[in-house]
Amino acid sequence: MKPQALAAALIAALAVIPASHAIAQSAPAIPGYTMGQKSLAKAPYTPADLESLKKTLLFTDEDIRYLRMSKAILADQTEAILDVWYGFVASTPELVVYFKNNRTGAPDGAYLGAVRKRFARWITDTADANYDQAWLDYQYEIGLRHTTPGKNKTDRADSVPLVNFRYLSALTIPVTTTLKPFLAKKGAAAADVEKMHAAWVKSVLMQTILWSHPYVRDGQF
Ligand code: HEM
């Protein structure tokens, strides 16, 4: 095949691949990260439900702008942030128990490490979320992964069957409090740091509320 014909064939082939798949193929693969994949269940809440939740959380377009501003600031600090967050979980016996290996009773390093890679991606996903159906569906999936239908499955971990509900939204506070110094590290104005921090608090709380769906009785979410 001539180079021009080959190029035309490739362009034609790419045109039928959905954008999310094209992105998934060009980005380095993170094991178990499935945002945008067709295999995911459709979220049981709608874009309209999300808009109502945003209203109640006072989550506005300004928050979206400040989250986006945080993306570049946090980009090269991800590993340091995860060290702090994992340090908090590791030093809190009430939390580290959710990563324990059932056989040894000790924290499962492979499980912690596999989740950490997706946690790193979640920082960027939170900063530049577009709140579309794929995002909503992945919120539902993350909720399932914290509860019995999905926990341990992605990484084939032999661990406890669920994260207890009461800790889910509670972790918003250590996660966002410890994030604030990282938001301030790149010279942003103090007022912008405050607004980025406030936007992160709202977004993380909103996500943990969406993740709570599997814990709530039918019809009561
Ligand atoms: C603000 C609250 C929380 C945030 C932002 C958060 C964030 C995340 C993220 C991004 C993932 C990976 C999702 C994926 O697979 O793509 C994850 C998984 C996980 N989180 Fe959380 N989480 C929170 C609360 C908690 C709490 C309180 C615990 C208890 C220790 C916990 C334990 C876990 C575990 C065990 C997994 C792995 C689940 C699996 O088997 O797939 N999380 N979390």
- Average pLDDT over all residues of the chain: 91
pLDDT above 90: residue 169:
yes
In a domain, 18, yes or no: no
Q: Tell me which of 7-11, 115-119, 151-155, 186-190 is least confident.
A: 7-11
Owning domain of residue 164: 35-215
Mean pLDDT calculated for residue range 73-86: 98
Distance CA 16, CA 184 (A): 43
> What is the DSSP secondary-structure string of the chain?
--HHHHHHHHHHHHHTS-HHHHHHHHSPP-TT--TT-TTSPPPSS-HHHHHHHHHHTT--HHHHHHHHHHHHHHHTTHHHHHHHHHHHHHT-HHHHGGGB-TTT-SB-HHHHHHHHHHHHHHHHHHHT----HHHHHHHHHHHHHTSTTTTTTTTT----S---HHHHTTTHHHHHHHHHHHHHTT---HHHHHHHHHHHHHHHHHHHHHHTGGGSPTT--
Q: What is the pLDDT of residue 26?
A: 55
Q: What pLDDT does 27 receive?
A: 58
Query: Number of structural domains, the chain?
Result: 1
Closest C-alpha to ligand 1, atom 19: 146
Q: Can you state the angle between helices 109-127 and 78-90, rounded to 10 degrees?
A: 130
Q: Is residue 1 part of a domain?
A: no
| Ligand 1 pocket at CB < 6 A | 32-33, 89, 95, 98-99, 115, 118-119, 122, 142, 145-146, 151-152, 154-155, 157, 163, 167-168, 171-172, 175, 204, 208
Spatial distance between the Cα atoms of 35 and 43, rounded to a whole number of angstroms = 12
Determine the pLDDT at residue 8. Answer: 45
Ligand 1 atom at minimal distance to the Cα of residue 175 = 1
With respect to residue 22, please indicate whether it lies within any of the assigned structural domains.
no
What is the reported pLDDT for 11?
A: 40
pLDDT at 9: 43
Of 145, 156, 205, the one to substitute when testing ligand 1's pocket (max ligand atoms within 8 A of C-beta) is 145
CATH number of the domain residue 43 falls in: 1.10.490.10
Residue 101's pLDDT is 98
Asked whether residue 12 carries a pLDDT value surpassing 80, the answer given is no
For ligand 1, what atom is nearest to the CA of residue 118? 16
pLDDT higher than threshold 80 for residue 193: yes
pLDDT number for residue 6? 43
State the distance from the centre of ligand 1 to the C-alpha of 26, rounded, in angstroms.
26
**Which residue minimizes the CA distance to atom 21 of ligand 1?**
146
Residue 163 included in any domain: yes
Instruction: Express each pLDDT in 83-103 by its tens digit.
Output: 999 999 999 999 999 999 999
* Tens-digit pLDDT profile for residues 159-168: 999 999 999 9
In a domain, 221, yes or no: no
How far apart CA 179 and CA 194 sit, in angstroms, is 11
Distance 147 CA to ligand 1 centre (A): 10
Q: Which atom of ligand 1 is nearest to the CA of 207?
A: 5
Model confidence at 7, in pLDDT bands (50, 70, 90)? very low
The answer as to whether 15 is a domain residue is no
Among 92, 112, 118, 163, the mutation site with the greatest number of ligand 1 atoms within 8 A of its Cβ is 163
Determine the distance separating the centroid of ligand 1 and the alpha carbon of 209, expressed in angstroms: 13
Higher pLDDT: 129 or 25? It is 129
Decide if 23 is inside a domain: no
pLDDT digits (tens, 9 = 90+) for 22-71: 444 455 699 999 999 999 999 999 999 999 999 999 999 999 999 999 99
